[in-house]
Structure 1
């Protein structure tokens, strides 16, 4: 009895494993093999070669077992396998430090390109720039080195993938250096994208990123020879302008010369890591990776890390996004295009959610998605230890393959050669395929029998029946699920019975002017005929009228008609308008039963304009809106029309000349010249005609002498009346000088102030009554200029 419990436990685990291994057998493993020695090996890339073999690239640090040589520490390891997984040849490449191969390409001439990184500066590695460099080898079809080159600077660089492009090859990776083959670095690791020709010559090199770590993992060709570069970004500065969370998927679109067209972040508030991408026919790409987020661009999360698959178009817009996983850690690394969708490879630690099984710590996990990212099937492979897929591929007509690493030696693994082995698995095509046919249209009274051509399976139809066929005689969506020993597949068909579902173009309708109505015959039919002559199932309506469509399928025919009218809101604010200063105008947008909104927020049907500006109104009626705008300008009175003359002197000529561009003139004497000649004092007036507006100005000219009054007699008798001889200015004087003389010309008095006068004394003595001469010099201002004048005369001194 003491030995029975362990035996029972072993039997239980054995049968449980066998039962689990029989689940989800939609893809059948053809073989599963591990390769390596007593050390560690891993596959990072694998391709189906033109001769039918598999080329598997990764690394090894073993000195025994399957690797036949080792240069020291980790070496590139490249294996060529036949269709049964037997080694045709294997080669190691490297130096005494570490080399890890990440990508392999087969060229049209049969040569190979092997890409990865190296820390060596000896062995087969020549020209290392510093610490870790990108290392690219061109190999012959037999794996012999044609050339090998290092790329990088004095710090650390690594590369993840190489793809062919017109004129050479583009590499995506990451770099810390800003010397050597790199021109700049923005912080930690930057995206590093460079192009080489077939001889390994560097054609161009570009870095993009921010002050933190940013890793480029995968390039793909987009439209017009442009490139999409996918990876992960931790930065939120530099070239990164839209950081979303902790780590984001970061996608760049580059020109064929590597210049940045746009950069976009994708993700949620937590961590997203992008590991690979596949270019699509529309110039977009599908990105594989992992996410911890549950919001933002991420549609949901099953717990811990989920596989996150993101489909973008050529402009970086999200076409679709899906997460797959369970409660534990699940990540997606590889992606390949299949006949009817995409194959995703990675690993899973879960046994819940989308993950139907788990054998141990981590399993290699394969997912088959349709073109819209929906899950067709998923299956885990591995053993009781840590097993992972990093790459996958599709072989037309033969199935799939996946490669990675394994620690297990049980269940799907035939054994283990040391520590971590390089692991490759070949799978047959999807073993369970359903096809109910194309969506179908029936005439009323017809029926269709749906019968899946699948052997040894049970069936479940959309209505719960389980027969091997189903008869359809009405419009609807029909599906069947086939189950062959736990492997399930489903297909759907749309059936429409012509006449049963009405052909409806909708109710008669009224559109706003300028709108377009799309009319669609939303039924299945062989042929369509519209009143316009179109034979498509959709037409665009931009004019009023009666529209009809006739749909035909075999002998079946249905039709419908719709009346389409357009509402035109008719009003006009008129042409742009020029008003004279002080004028007003009223803008009228009156429409019956309408609402109004003017530029200042007012809502009346009219608006009074009193100043220049742009005036607009929005008129709404029955849900339609019409706009109109008018520009109102004003002709303002010119700042200065006539010059500022006040005086005219004897023998002086003054020209009154307004000089207003575009104006005409009418003077007070009836003349219409552009200027008027004035030779005598008087009042002068001009009417200026400018842009339909009239403005007047006038001046009054006085004789220069009238500016200063000088009396001809005074009586200095002390009575306070006319005791002093002085002048009296009647205008502003800017300079003044007065002198008084006796009959013999002797200067009796002199003053420079017009308010200071002569009291009839000379040297303190009163002079005798009589006549005395005077002379005055002064300046006046006329039209902004100082004019010198002088006057002289006689004054009689009385007692």
Structure 2
């Protein structure tokens, strides 16, 4: 028979485990403590070039809404995500288009016979969108979000990315492979992923001169990040793994190609001292040219003028959250800090600079 003190200790442990699961974002299914069901909403915050709030949009279907990526297009912002019936976690891919004022232009789901999350989205001129979903499902749409073709690679992996290919069509990466899909949805080729882990969304950087880079968590070295350069046919050219010190883990946030033909990576540093953001410069051959640490938080990305943007939840519980977005100059000195009070427990999903000099933050509410 348990004592009162023992019961209290047991309840405290259970509560702590629930909070840790939520904080880690480990949502294999909505949590259902008692008779309550977790509901997710998608939100987007737009800031101007001084960090002032321009608009804040919440997308609430009344179901369990998820979002995984956001891209800017000429007339607004496209989001890849999924939606599930509340309390019955069977996600289907979803695409959302916002105009430049944050108004929803269209919000479309793409039914699948099995559970699939929409995790990547890309856009080419006026030809429409391509979305990547779990296990290598690629959905091509027109500019209004209406499906015109789908290709199913029937691969492994929950999280897939997609980007325009310099050879035409699209590059998709996730699970255990990379592939090129032509503009009509035909698979041009498929190749092994080159050591990128299937447990997180990779980042694809097309090379205008041919080929592309795929970067993500290293499959063979948890906590490390790997960058793999491929040629136009998907053959690996080189790969580089970036590892930290004992107990240090990296969470990849942004990758870009430099003017010299090399690449730069930004990754959040976790479980290490001091915490911050690691910036790595790679040469054209994948050699590590420089490593430095920035006093910022992930997600983090670059600004067009050579600085950085960073977002973090300074406070976060079921009474609400405090989002802090900061801009740093190229030397890491803070230019401005913007704080925004959020109504619900939240997750920050992505942060992008925008063409008007501002930024957009994609996130999710988690509420009962």
TM range (shorter): 0.5 to 0.7
Aligned twin of 2:216: 346
Q: In 2 relative to 1, CA 284–141 (structure 1 residues): closer, same or farther, beyond 3 Å?
A: same
Q: In 2 relative to 1, CA 273–284 (structure 1 residues): closer, same or farther, beyond 3 Å?
A: farther
Structure 1 counterpart of 2:280, from 423, 426, 437: 426
Question: How many Å apart are 1:280 and its aligned residue?
Answer: 2.4
Structure 1 counterpart of 2:154, from 267, 290, 293: 267
Aligned twin of 2:338: none
Q: In 2 relative to 1, CA 230–431 (structure 1 residues): closer, same or farther, beyond 3 Å?
A: closer
Once residues 398 and 327 of structure 1 are traced to their aligned partners in structure 2, the CA distance between those partners, rounded to angstroms, is: 21
1:373 aligned onto 2:241: no
Task: Tell me the SS of whatever aligns to 1:373.
Answer: coil
Aligned twin of 2:41: 133
Structure 2 gaps of 5+ residues are 1-18, 26-37, 288-368
Once residues 206 and 214 of structure 1 are traced to their aligned partners in structure 2, the CA distance between those partners, rounded to angstroms, is: 14
Question: How many Å apart are 1:221 and its aligned residue?
Answer: 1.9
Once residues 197 and 98 of structure 2 are traced to their aligned partners in structure 1, the CA distance between those partners, rounded to angstroms, is: 41
Alignment of 1:161-180 (within 5 A): 161-177=69-85
Once residues 137 and 260 of structure 1 are traced to their aligned partners in structure 2, the CA distance between those partners, rounded to angstroms, is: 28
Alignment of 1:484-633 (within 5 A): none
Aligned twin of 2:123: 221
Structure 1 gaps of 5+ residues are 1-72, 75-96, 101-129, 179-185, 233-247, 292-307, 351-357, 410-415, 434-799
Task: Tell me the SS of whatever aligns to 1:397.
Answer: coil
Task: Tell me the SS of whatever aligns to 2:140.
Answer: strand
Aligned twin of 2:206: 337
Q: In 2 relative to 1, CA 167–200 (structure 1 residues): closer, same or farther, beyond 3 Å?
A: same
Question: Deviation string for 1:253-309 (max 9, x for gaps)?
Answer: 1111111112221035xx333421111256521111113xxxxxxxxxxxxxxxx11
Query: TM-score by structure 2 length?
Result: 0.60
Task: Tell me the SS of whatever aligns to 2:202.
Answer: strand
Aligned twin of 1:311: 180
Question: How many Å apart are 1:331 and its aligned residue?
Answer: 6.8
Considering only aligned residues, what root-mean-square deviation do their CA atoms show, in Å? 3.5
1:249 aligned onto 2:158: no
1:402, 1:426 within 8 Å by CA — same for their partners in 2? yes
1:175, 1:191 within 8 Å by CA — same for their partners in 2? yes
Question: How many Å apart are 1:199 and its aligned residue?
Answer: 0.6
Structure 1 counterpart of 2:66, from 152, 158, 162: 158
Q: Which structure has more strand as a fraction of its residues?
A: 2
Once residues 286 and 319 of structure 1 are traced to their aligned partners in structure 2, the CA distance between those partners, rounded to angstroms, is: 10
Aligned twin of 1:635: none
Q: In 2 relative to 1, CA 251–316 (structure 1 residues): closer, same or farther, beyond 3 Å?
A: same
Task: Tell me the SS of whatever aligns to 1:262.
Answer: strand
Question: How many Å apart are 1:365 and its aligned residue?
Answer: 0.8
Once residues 43 and 161 of structure 2 are traced to their aligned partners in structure 1, the CA distance between those partners, rounded to angstroms, is: 20
The one of the two structures with greater contact order (alpha-carbon pairs below 8 A, sep at least 6) is 2
Q: In 2 relative to 1, CA 432–151 (structure 1 residues): closer, same or farther, beyond 3 Å?
A: closer
Of the two, which has the highest radius of gyration?
1
Once residues 199 and 91 of structure 2 are traced to their aligned partners in structure 1, the CA distance between those partners, rounded to angstroms, is: 26
Query: TM-score by structure 1 length?
Result: 0.29
Q: In 2 relative to 1, CA 329–155 (structure 1 residues): closer, same or farther, beyond 3 Å?
A: closer
Question: How many Å apart are 1:138 and its aligned residue?
Answer: 0.8
2:251, 2:270 within 8 Å by CA — same for their partners in 1? no
Aligned twin of 1:520: none
Task: Tell me the SS of whatever aligns to 1:371.
Answer: coil
Once residues 206 and 331 of structure 1 are traced to their aligned partners in structure 2, the CA distance between those partners, rounded to angstroms, is: 24
Number of aligned residue pairs: give it.
253
